[in-house]
Amino acid sequence: MLVAFDFDGTLSDSEMTVLLGEQNGTAGDMADITERAMNNEIEYAESLRQRCELLADLPDEQAQAAFDEVRLRPGAGEVIAALREAGHYVAILTGGFERGVEAALEREGVEVDAIVANRLPVVDGKSEADTASEDTSGQRPRVLSGNVRGPLIEGTKDDALEVATAIVGEDREETIAVGDGANDLPMLEVAGLSIGFEPKPAVEPACDVTVSTMDELYVLLEKRDVL
Task: List residues with catalytic annotation.
Answer: 6, 8
**Torsion angle, CA of 142/145/146/148, rounded to 10 degrees?**
-110
**Helix or strand or coil: residue 197?**
strand
Distance CA 201, CA 180 (A): 9
Cα 180 versus chain centre, distance: 11
160: how many CB neighbours lie within 10 A of its CB? 22
Let me know: does 192 contact 173? Beta carbons within 8 Å: yes
